[in-house]
Structure 1
Amino acid sequence: MTTAEPHETIRVGLEERAYDILIGANLLERAGEEIAARMPGARAAIVTDENVAAIHLKALEAGLAKAGIQSTAVVVPAGEQSKSFSVLQTVVDAILAARLERRDVVIALGGGVVGDLSGFAAGIIRRGMDFVQVPTSLLAQVDSSVGGKTGINTAHGKNLVGVFHQPKLVLADTSVLDTLPEREFRAGYAETVKYGLIDRPDFFEWLEANWREVFAGGPARARAIAVACQSKAEVVARDERETGDRALLNLGHTFGHALEATTGYDSARLVHGEGVAIGMALAHRFSARLNLASPDDAVRVEAHLTQVGLPTKLSDIPGELPDAEQLLAYITQDKKVSRGALTFILTRGIGQSFIAKDVPSSEVLTFLRDSLAR
């Protein structure tokens, strides 16, 4: 009998909905063991995309079989376009056709798209099936797999249809990140940086000094993921349904989501983490423009994101963008808008983000016009 590799466990404290995030190498092989221990007798539907299935599906299926868990796979096209009503229906129909019951489990094997899509399906099938996240991208491991937000996109904007549905377990296998294309890893790194910029200035400073080691893998990568997950777990435990300071996790996202919508969720032009990187740079520049923070902080944030190869300006997005008025129209569709008032996550400095309500649309419009001209 082989000894299991060490891993770190972070608890998301939500009383009866509490769950563990396991972080470590080769957790994919132990997924069946971990799931069976928490959900004895469950059968599984694995939802994944074509790219991830080609690399990791067999390993997960083997791990489940070893633990006596019967599984069926539902494979969807890769990319943001799968977060749609039509693909959701395909997933729901496939799970129902497999005759899975409410206490069986839906396993999301993939990045943020697969996690959001399959979590939504799990949340609505039979009024709520059990759900496990097995995130295979850095972005999903540090952000979207934790916290229970699920959903799909519409023509009106990103993630506008969905439910809060917490997983029963998150398995963040750090070794699967070695198969990620560099662009996807960089995109996930943007979400990692976010936690330093929200309220952990020491973490941002550590990333500035150690980002190369995070990209290379090993202990630095595992530490970065653990700090990010711990940060998100604490916020989610305080504010599960984003009625208060969980909104801080949207730093960069109001701008970023609008940019994703304007590019038609075309991953050749912009992926989510890149939109967040530009959004965080914009949020810091906008904060400086409003005299809330020093311009030096915006320069520092932009310098670090640029150093790792992330975009920071609207002009970094390939192809034409709509005018400032159209960008503002997408922003007003964002979920952070409340009764028409614009809400942004702004900052008073590195690690000093706050929720700014009733931001004048005229200020945003002028800022967008200037940003498009950069």
Structure 2
Amino acid sequence: MSDTTDLIRVDLGERSYDIEIGSGNSASLAGFIEARRPTEHVVVVTDSNVAGLHADALSDRLTDQGLEVLLLEIDAGEPSKCADMAFELWSRMLEEGVDRKSVVLAIGGGVVGDLAGFVAATFMRGLPFFQAPTTLLAQVDSSVGGKVGINLPGGKNMVGAFWQPAGVLVDVDLLATLPEREYRAGMAEVVKYGVILDAEFFAYLEANVEGINARLPEVLRHVVKRCCRLKADVVEADETETSGRRAVLNYGHTFGHALEAATGYTRLLHGEAVAIGMTCAARLSEAIGAAPCGFTQRQSALLETIGLPTTTPVDLDPEELLELMWRDKKVEGGQLRLVLARTFGDVGLFADTPSEAILTAIGPSTRAAQGL
């Protein structure tokens, strides 16, 4: 590990692993893998966007360093995170002779990581799994914590497992090829961490918006490192969401997942849906008196300065969105539990929130457009 590389340890006993954060450190990917799970065979899962940008070159580098590589490419986009694609990957792996000594490596964003991790967790009852995230959203959030899975038509991430990676290698230089819209979508999860866990970090983001928008390397390194440490702390405290502590990571996501499902997982990027969902959650937090007046305005100001949406699309039916929210995994005992804010750095789970308040929080302009 070079002097310019940061190492974050996720302490989970026998499932512990490292997150290595650096610039240009993907060149040492083979060594990173072999130091943690010695192998001769790597199954690389990537998508049609990342293959030509990064995965082909990284796979060639693995081959040059003596590893046998099976490269599996899926179509880019959320629709690929489905049962049919998982079945296709399982079948290809069986045909190509993948065995218990093979490891799976996800090179891509959240869709690739979630799908590849799910396939790794289930093929031959579990193969070691590594992440080399190439999007900001994946680097700061989805590559860490071991949540893997696929979508059903009526609900996001409804089939899945907890399957911790053997290691996560984050190279912020890979973000240089990330389209602007994808980059800004990833920032939604960054803002989320400031809201839910770290008021000082939220203030840092407000003070460094210019550097964020300019993708300054030193700002990105700090942002990724802080988010990974915050998530690692939560995962260590509640790995499989049994105590309720990990649920705070879903701030804005119950609304956001409903928005994604209502638009067929194609219209909104995950981070865009989360940004809107966070705005809905903030409005609801203020409406029920949990958060102070002005909380929503401050949160929305940061999201909008970064270039993220904060308004629910007016053509969506609030009643349909609420129905989709009731299919969320956080529904327990007939109660819809929502992660709502008390102040910056402090959120909690709230149940029995009135449906009328939720519908209003989805957006007054939306409800007016629907004639409600």
TM-score with structure 2 length normalisation?
Answer: 0.95
The letter of the residue matching 1:20 is: D
The letter of the residue matching 1:240 is: E
**Alpha-carbon distance, 1:142 to partner:** 0.4
**Alpha-carbon distance, 1:371 to partner:** 5.2
**Alpha-carbon distance, 1:39 to partner:** 1.5
Specify the alignment match of 1:240 in structure 2.
239
Specify the alignment match of 1:263 in structure 2.
263
The answer on 1:223 being equivalent to 2:217 is no
Specify the alignment match of 1:146 in structure 2.
144
Q: 28-37 vs 356-365, which deviates more?
A: 356-365
The answer on 1:365 being equivalent to 2:359 is yes
The answer on 1:186 being equivalent to 2:180 is no
Say if 1:369 and 1:229 are closer, same or farther in 2 by CA, change over 3 A. Answer: closer
Question: How is 1:309-348 mapped onto 2 (pairs within 5 angstroms)?
Answer: 309-315=307-313, 320-321=315-316, 323-348=317-342
In structure 2, C-alpha distance between the alignment counterparts of 1:4 and 1:13, rounded to whole Å? 22
In structure 1, C-alpha distance between the alignment counterparts of 2:88 and 2:3, rounded to whole Å? 37
Q: Residue 298 of structure 1 aligns to a residue in which SS?
A: helix
**Alpha-carbon distance, 1:368 to partner:** 3.3
Question: How is 1:250-289 mapped onto 2 (pairs within 5 angstroms)?
Answer: 250-266=250-266, 269-289=267-287
Q: Residue 348 of structure 1 aligns to a residue in which SS?
A: strand
Question: How is 1:35-184 mapped onto 2 (pairs within 5 angstroms)?
Answer: 35-184=33-182
> Contact 2:11–2:17 at 8 Å: present in 1 too?
yes
**Alpha-carbon distance, 1:353 to partner:** 1.1
**Alpha-carbon distance, 1:312 to partner:** 0.4
The letter of the residue matching 2:288 is: L
**Alpha-carbon distance, 1:25 to partner:** 1.1
In structure 1, C-alpha distance between the alignment counterparts of 2:121 and 2:64, rounded to whole Å? 27
Q: Residue 213 of structure 1 aligns to a residue in which SS?
A: helix
**Alpha-carbon distance, 1:325 to partner:** 1.4
In structure 2, C-alpha distance between the alignment counterparts of 1:367 and 1:26, rounded to whole Å? 43
**Alpha-carbon distance, 1:342 to partner:** 0.7
In structure 1, C-alpha distance between the alignment counterparts of 2:160 and 2:109, rounded to whole Å? 17
In structure 1, C-alpha distance between the alignment counterparts of 2:211 and 2:328, rounded to whole Å? 35
Say if 1:42 and 1:238 are closer, same or farther in 2 by CA, change over 3 A. Answer: farther
**Alpha-carbon distance, 1:366 to partner:** 4.1
Q: 89-98 vs 363-372, which deviates more?
A: 363-372
TM-score with structure 1 length normalisation?
Answer: 0.95
In structure 1, C-alpha distance between the alignment counterparts of 2:108 and 2:241, rounded to whole Å? 25
> Contact 1:36–1:69 at 8 Å: present in 2 too?
no
The runs of 5 or more residues in structure 2 that have no matched partner are none
Once the two structures are superposed, residues 172-228 of structure 1 have per-residue CA deviations (whole angstroms, 9 ceiling, x without a partner) of: 110000000010000001101111100200000000011221332211110000000
Q: Residue 314 of structure 1 aligns to a residue in which SS?
A: coil
Say if 1:264 and 1:188 are closer, same or farther in 2 by CA, change over 3 A. Answer: same
Once the two structures are superposed, residues 84-130 of structure 1 have per-residue CA deviations (whole angstroms, 9 ceiling, x without a partner) of: 11111111111222211123100001000000000000000000000
> Contact 1:33–1:64 at 8 Å: present in 2 too?
no
**Alpha-carbon distance, 1:250 to partner:** 0.3
Say if 1:278 and 1:341 are closer, same or farther in 2 by CA, change over 3 A. Answer: same
Q: CA RMSD in A?
A: 1.5
The letter of the residue matching 1:257 is: H
Q: Residue 163 of structure 1 aligns to a residue in which SS?
A: strand
Specify the alignment match of 1:294 in structure 2.
292
In structure 2, C-alpha distance between the alignment counterparts of 1:358 and 1:68, rounded to whole Å? 57
Specify the alignment match of 1:355 in structure 2.
349
Q: 336-345 vs 169-178, which deviates more?
A: 336-345
The letter of the residue matching 1:262 is: A
Q: How many residues align?
A: 366
> Contact 2:212–2:220 at 8 Å: present in 1 too?
yes
Q: Residue 4 of structure 2 aligns to a residue in which SS?
A: coil
Say if 1:220 and 1:368 are closer, same or farther in 2 by CA, change over 3 A. Answer: closer
Q: Residue 150 of structure 1 aligns to a residue in which SS?
A: strand
Specify the alignment match of 1:210 in structure 2.
208
In structure 1, C-alpha distance between the alignment counterparts of 2:212 and 2:305, rounded to whole Å? 14
In structure 2, C-alpha distance between the alignment counterparts of 1:177 and 1:283, rounded to whole Å? 29
